[in-house]
Structure 1
Amino acid sequence: MADRKSFQTALIHSDYAAPGGFAAFPTPIHHASTVLFENVAALRSRNWQEKTGYTYGLHGTPTTFTLEARLAEIEGGEHCVLAPSGLAAIAMVDFALLKTGDDVLIPDNVYNPNRELGRWLSQDFGITARFYDPMIGAGIASMLQPNTRLIWTEAPGSVSMEVPDIPAICKVVREKRDAGQDIHVAIDNTWSAGIAFRAFEHGVDIVMQALTKYQSGGSDVLMGAVITRDRELIHRIELAHMRIGYGVGADDAYLVLRGLPTMKLRFEAHDAGARKVAAWLKARPEIARVLHPAFEDCPGHETWKRDFTGAGGLFSVVFDEQYTEEQTDRFIDSLTLFKIGYSWGGAASLCVPYRIQSMRRQWNGNGQLVRFNVGLEDPADLIADIEQALSAL
């Protein structure tokens, strides 16, 4: 090729290369769909599943590899795969481990999109999805079938806040696996951000995190992660990731990386603020129950006290039965600092109503359930906001 390039070609192929030696705190953002190889031998020899090199943007860049490694380290795992959302991460686990004729168990208090995904698997894929009492503990043994391949757990349930006995469930599953059954336990560990509950230390095989929440902390990113310590499991998950074609943008990965250094500080601030607000609500005559795992009367509190080291900012309340849905809706509409929205884990506080009786097969009581996410505002201001809104009842 001639040394002198045309203007158009020079716009694409430059001879300049930036000098090495640059160092800074932020992880560089590598945008790439196409990955370049030094030669054909490198192209043919590179294995995308081993993550020892780069093959295609979908399978990772230095930015996403760095995020995956840091998330695995935070959670106490060894391998991580990113997905475009928390629900995408759940689906990736399902499609990695389940096929037609298999059975999956899902807790009755599960994140509702996971419930709907289970129903879809049953309806269109020939995979039975059965729902179990989240407080079943070792009793899960009575529900296992020879074709049960996966048990989903959520600690606690992100609406009704029951805390399951994860070690008891994992012990049953481990005994079945030792006897030759291909079965695993997965957990949605988003509520604790991997900070307050060390899932792998309690026997879990697969951890799912919705990085949309505490990891990013900015209410501006959709992303999920699947983490494990098992190399065979991660290869199955990576194959599902490739076949579905999940991709995560480098800019979003950077935003999550930027949030990680402050995550523990933010989580602890959410936790402290939420306990103050929840304690104040517990003394209010309008509130029949406060569903916060750190409170003694929350289902599974003793398990929380044994297995957890914190609680974050999410909890629910049940209003006295005398208050109608119309009244509690008016209460929420009257809040000014608390905004109405489903997500959580960001700096701004949120509040949302749930028709819990229609979500759960078994639910005691008829009061209206309202879930709070306490952000990083001054708890005294949040309490004042709730107090003025209660007058709207």
Structure 2
Amino acid sequence: MKTPSDRTRLIAGATQRGRGRRPVNPPVERASTMLSDRADQMRDESLGPVYGLAGTTAARELRTALAGLEGAAESWIVPSGLAAVTVPLLAVARPGDEIIASDAVYGPSRRFLSRWMTARGVSVRFHAAEASAEEVAGLIGETTRAVLIESPASLTMDMLDAPALAAAARAKGVISIMDNTWGAGLAFKPLRHGVDISVQAVTKYAAGHSDLLMGAIATNDAALGRAIDGTIEDVGWHVSPDDAWLALRGLRTLPLRMTEQARSALEITTWLGQQPEVARVLYPPLPSDPGHALWARDYSGAASLFGLEMKGGTTEAGRAFLDALSLFGLGYSWGGYESLATHETHQMAYRQSPARLAGELLRFHVGLEDPADLIADLDIGLAAWRKALKA
């Protein structure tokens, strides 16, 4: 029998037979205390969770579905995408160890590394965002414990050769952790490409409706799994049953939403690339993007998040562009059904090696609106940009 696609498996997990009469979606069970019939059963985990922290039905089904999507032996859910990044780092790094990460890594991840980890004796080295796998591998030393991979990188969408970097890390006994939020476990599968631990913000595409915060962690390594599980247990993090239920519902339609949004994003980024005010569209699916070859080789799809590098400009012009938009919401995060826009030039100040940009940096997420309407909205924004520069 043909192996089902992700699109089929995410739904088949709800309809599989042999489980008796039940609702399509699991019940929402709000519980801290779990009761047993007898005293000798109170710690018997084979009968189900012994306390609410272990997660009730919706959380367990969500973890199973995410593990299947990632091709993982096991997955875990935590209260935010940032927690999905920090838990593996806490699980594996000890004082005296070193973590290597991209200079373009997600801002809160960078803050955690630079503030929390360094204060507790873990050193951090940031490599150039455009570095090759060989260059990053050359930085691995005797104290390096883990390499944090983020590809495409936050804001500037720099691509890393994740399979080559994971292989180089493994050859030197170093753990590879990949923030795969852009790939969402669907467009790219880190574990199948040799990465040890895959993490993503379920907040984004998996949940898909901008109404919850959650992260996911997945691995096939039993020892790493025990360390991750123990860390989550020790810090006491828990995902509410309501959020788990919402995320599971969103996950069922992930392939359809992500595919449609990527199709719209490609149409819109192609149009933007032809506008005279635009220096460069930062989006790996575009043939003009420096990371396109890696994306075409390793990815089966794309997110609809991209950066827009303008030709010169000012902060005021960037804000005028965004203020003129009526269909793009002004807000952080992405992956939901709605289109969003943010102004990001100020974020470049945190990098050790500033990105070489021709002007202001804007970021856009394309939702499920009609792409023709979004293009018309962006055209109005560009007119506001031009007007602000003439003022």
CA deviation string 1:143-169 (max 9, x = no partner): 112121111111211311011101111
Contact 2:76/2:217, CA 8 A, preserved across alignment: yes
* Structure 1 residue identity aligned to 2:140: L
- Superposed displacement of residue 366, structure 1: 4.0
Paired residue for 2:223, among 219, 224, 232?
Answer: 232
Residues 1:123 and 1:148: Cα distance change in structure 2 (over 3 Å): closer
Instruction: State the Cα distance separating 1:221 from its structure 2 match.
Output: 0.7
1:163 touches 1:300 (CA, 8 Å); kept in 2? yes
Q: Which residue of 1 aligns with 2:379?
A: 387
Equivalent pair of 2:170/2:176 in contact (CA under 8 Å): no
- Select 2:342's aligned residue among 342, 352, 367: 352
Determine helix, strand or coil for the equivalent of 1:318.
strand
Structure 1 gaps of 5+ residues are: 1-19, 178-182
Amino acid at match of 1:226: I
Q: Find the counterpart in structure 1 of residue 150 from structure 2.
A: 154
Please say if residues 287 and 319 of structure 1, whose CA atoms lie closer than 8 Å, have aligned partners that are also in contact. Answer: yes
Could you tell me which residue of structure 2 aligns to residue 126 of structure 1? Answer: 121
Structure 1 Cα separation of the partners of residues 185 and 72 of structure 2: 10
- 5 Å-filtered alignment, 1:21-40, equals 22-40=21-39
Q: Is the 8 A contact 1:162 1:298 kept in 2?
A: no
Opposite residue 347 of structure 1, the aligned amino acid is Y
CA displacement 1:162-203 (0-9 Å, x = unmatched): 1110111111112112xxxxx210111110111111211111
Alpha-carbon distance in structure 1 between the residues aligned to 2:200 and 2:172: 26
Query: 2: CA distance between counterparts of 1:266 and 1:104?
Result: 35
Q: Report which stretch shifted further, 225-234 or 137-146.
A: 137-146
In structure 2, distance between residues paired with 1:119 and 1:189: 21
Partner of 2:5: none
Contact 1:289 1:319 (8 Å CA) reproduced? yes
Aligned to 1:218: 209
**1:41 matched to which residue of 2?**
40
The residue type paired with residue 122 of structure 2 is I
Partner of 1:142: 138
- Corresponding pairs, count: 364
Return the offset for 1:22.
4.0
Instruction: Report the alpha carbon displacement of residue 63 of structure 1 after superposing the two structures with TM.
Output: 1.8
Provide the aligned C-alpha RMSD in A.
1.6
Q: Which runs of 5+ in 2 are unaligned?
A: 1-18, 386-391
For 1:159 and 1:130, the matched residues in 2 are separated by: 20
State the TM-score, normalized to the length of structure 1: 0.89
Alpha-carbon spacing, 1:38–1:379, altered in 2? closer, same or farther (3 Å): same
Deviation for aligned residue 1:52: 7.2
Of the two, which has the highest radius of gyration?
A: 1
Q: 1: distance between equivalents of 2:288 and 2:111?
A: 30
Looking at structure 1, the residues matched to 42 and 23 of structure 2 have their Cα atoms a distance apart, in angstroms, of 31
Partners of 1:297 and 1:359 in 2: CA distance: 27
Partner of 2:9: none
Which whole-Å CA distance do the structure 2 matches of 1:359 and 1:40 have between them?
A: 56
One of 209, 231, 237 as aligned partner of 1:246: 237
State the SS of the aligned residue for 2:384: coil
* Displacement after TM superposition at 1:266 (Å): 0.2
Q: 1:100 to 1:259 in 2, by over 3 A?
A: same
1:168 is aligned to 2:164: yes
Q: TM-score, normalised by structure 2?
A: 0.90
Structure 1 position 44, deviation (Å): 4.2
Q: Is 1:286 paired with 2:282?
A: no
Q: 2:89 aligns with which of 91, 94, 100?
A: 94
Contact 1:121–1:128 at 8 Å: present in 2 too? no
Rate the CA distance shift 1:29–1:326 in 2: closer, same or farther, 3 A. same
Instruction: Indicate conservation of the 8 Å contact 2:43/2:50, yes or no.
Output: no
* Shift of residue 371, structure 1, vs aligned partner: 0.5
Question: Match of 1:376?
Answer: 368
What SS does the aligned partner of 1:358 have? helix
Ranges of 4+ aligned residues in structure 1 off by more than 3 Å: none
Determine the C-alpha separation between the residues in 1 that align with 2:218 and 2:88: 10
Q: Specify the code of the residue in structure 2 equivalent to 1:283.
A: Q
Whether the 8 Å CA contact 2:118–2:124 is kept in 1: the answer is: no
Residue in structure 2 matching 1:71, options 58, 66, 70: 66
- Matched-pair contact (CA < 8 Å) for 1:357–1:366: no
Counterpart Cα distance in 1 of 2:97 and 2:34: 38
Corresponding residue for residue 3 of structure 2 = none
What is the aligned partner in structure 1 of residue 177 from structure 2? 186
Matched, 1:326 2:316: yes
- 1:237-257, Cα deviation, whole Å (9 max, x unpaired): 011101111011001000011
